[in-house]
Amino acid sequence: GTQVEWKVFEKSKVYMADLESGLHYLLRVELATHKTLEGEELKTFKDFVTVVAKLFPGRQSVVKLLETLLEWLVSLPLEKIPYDAILDLVNNKMRISGLYLSEQVQWVGCQGSSVALRGYPCSLWTLFHVLTVQAANRPDALANTGFEDDPLAVLQTMRHYIGTFFGCQECGKHFEEMAQESLNQIKTVDEAVLWLWRKHNQVNARLAGSMSEDPMFPKTQWPTPDLCPTCHEEQEGLHVWNEQMVLAFLKQHYSASNISPKYSS
């Protein structure tokens, strides 16, 4: 196989290379398994593009590409869109106007000790954490999209995307169960940030020691005390989270200013 050079990275950072590689994989690989988009699938894809176009704190060429894709999807009166038309737009039309999403996969914070581990699923979690934090930090970003004043905008979009397109169907089933259980209790954008954190930790706990665990990146309850000491407390000898501190940490860790441009070509 191809030897991929290990990239030095910091656990306290989020990497633009992971987010862009994830978007590349989503648009050019995952979506390609659906030959045409229609009905609920098309709605799910449109909602996804809406949320990323408005909230993704990316480089201008990528954000512009997402905005152009959104305008195109919204302006099309079609009930059915062939995937090839989407790919054509992403690959050709956009390149002409200088809008560009790299076709190179470059995992950094999401690199695994083998090619089968981490990568895309890691980037998808990262992307949705970034989006929930952006929705909380920029309350007006979703104005005039149909999602304004909806604290569930990002999570519902993620739920539908994961259930419809995510290659791991078992993951989609588990995520849907968690969503059905408690998504309707969320009343604010801050609660949405914390909900995704809590559910991600639930998944980490379930997967600890399983086949999908990278031995170099053991599943933990995150953030670990080295990343956020004040997130952890003890009550009567038992570990408890200080959720106020966790929220502040998430809003810093997944903020635009903590995204490193290192390795993004």
Which residues would be at the binding site for ligand FAD (CB under 6 A)?
110, 118, 121-122, 124-126, 129, 162, 168, 170-171, 174-175, 197, 200-201, 203-204, 207, 212, 214, 217, 222
**Planar angle of CA 11, 218, 215, nearest 5 degrees:** 110
Between 99 and 151, name the residue whose CB sits nearer to ligand FAD. 151
Q: Taking the CA of residue 222 as centre, how many other CA atoms within 13 Å lie in the half-sphere pointing to its CB?
A: 22
Burial of 107 (0-12, 13-18, 19+ CB in 10 A): buried
- Residue 13 burial (10 A CB sphere; 0-12, 13-18, 19+): middle
Residue with Cβ nearer ligand FAD (89 or 171): 171
User: CB of 196: closest distance to ligand FAD in angstroms?
Assistant: 7
How far is it, in rounded angstroms, from Cα 229 to Cα 163? 35
Closest CB to ligand FAD among 64 and 200?
Answer: 200
Distance, CA of 121 to CA of 136 (rounded, Å)? 23
Q: CB of 26: closest distance to ligand FAD in angstroms? A: 11
In the complex, the smallest distance separating the C-beta of residue 37 from ligand FAD, rounded to whole angstroms, is 21
Dist CA 201 CA 219 (whole Å): 9
Of 157, 133, 134, nearest to 146 (Cα)? 157
Main-chain dihedrals φ then ψ at residue 150, nearest 5 degrees = -110, 105
Least distance from ligand FAD to the Cβ atom of residue 24, Å: 16
Q: In the chain, count H helices and then E strands.
A: 10, 6
Least CB distance to ligand FAD at residue 224 (A): 9
Nearer to ligand FAD, 39 or 209 (CB): 209
Residue closer to ligand FAD, measured from CB, 80 or 239:
239
CB of 121 to ligand FAD, least distance (A): 3
Closest CA to 56 of 135, 118, 148: 135
Q: Give the residue with the Cβ less far from ligand FAD, 34 or 200.
A: 200
**Nearer to ligand FAD among residue 99 and residue 128 (C-beta):** 128
Q: Write down the least CB distance from residue 58 to ligand FAD, Å.
A: 18
Which of 197, 186, 194 minimizes the C-alpha distance to 152? 186
